[in-house]
Amino acid sequence: MKIEAKELTKMYGEGENRIIALDKAALEIAQGDFISITGPSGSGKSTLLHLLSGLDRPDSGSLAYDGREIYGLTDRELSAFRRRCIGFVFQQFHLLPVLTARENILMPLLLDKKQPDEAYLGQLAELLGIADRLNHLPHELSGGQQQRVAIARALIAKPEVIFADEPTGNLDSKSGREVMELLKTVGEKMGKTLVIITHDNRIAAMSKRRFSIVDGILTEEVLG
Ligand code: ADP
Ligand code: MG
């Protein structure tokens, strides 16, 4: 899946309160890329991620996945597109507390009325080191394990692209690093595109292409 974003601009507020959260952001992402985006709090990182993943629409600009214009889709088409093509990982793991790890992972398939692929679930659980945790409830898991369950959930519908917004923000640095290493390994093994927002430079350093964003202006860092 090739992603092409052009001149994405997003504003909030009116009159004097108007702020430009994102100012003409342009970005091309190839299948299998691993991209990190860093920047201070309030710089527009989440806004960019929401636009790139079709969770939100810009005031102007365009976004295409393999040449297909995303903002031209109706809300219903857009949410179907997200369910099939994109996996999300958030800072708060957003696991449902009354469901086991296994049920949480399978939730996106249930919502899409698809049958679980047990072999694939087993493979994901193995890769992510949670095979012996699948029948546990979230509160019986460590933060790192909960995030690994959330990563399995993001991958269960076999999307080509994973967007992660501060995926290690709620973890101590050791489990944060482990979670990132796993995400990277799974991404590489399965040929997924990864777009990760982080304020941790050590995590950004693991990516293939690094972007930074300041006051809504996105720039790619040229690595020497
Ligand atoms: P980051 O993720 O880098 O911390 P955000 O993308 O969340 O930054 O926010 C960028 C700017 O847009 C901030 O000034 C924020 O206050 C503002 N903003 C974000 N979402 C909204 C919203 N729904 N309504 C008004 N302002 C918003
Ligand atoms: Mg944010």
pLDDT digits (tens, 9 = 90+) for 106-124: 999 998 889 999 999 999 9
CB of 147 shorter than 6 A to ligand 1 = no
Q: Coil, strand, or helix at residue 3?
A: strand
50-68 pLDDT per residue, tens: 999 999 999 999 999 999 9
Class of the CATH domain delimited by 30-58+72-220 = alpha beta
Helix, strand, coil in percent for the chain, rounding step 5:
40, 25, 35
pLDDT of 223 strictly over 80: no
Q: In ligand 1, which atom is closest to the CA atom of 165? A: 2
Output b/e per residue, 49-88; b: 16+ Cβ within 10 A.
bbbbbbeebbeebebbbeeeebbebeeeebeebbbebbbb
Q: Specify the DSSP class assigned to residue 222.
A: P
What is d(CA 80, CA 84) in angstroms, rounded to the nearest whole number? 6
Where does 8-100 have alpha helices with state H? 45-52, 75-85
pLDDT of residue 120: 96
Instruction: Return the SS3 of 130.
Output: coil
Cβ(47) – ligand 1 distance below 6 Å: yes
Decide: 198 in ligand 1 pocket, CB within 6 A. Answer: no
Q: Which of 8, 11, 12 to mutate to test the pocket of ligand 1 (most atoms within 8 A of CB)?
A: 12
Tokens representing 181 are 């290493």
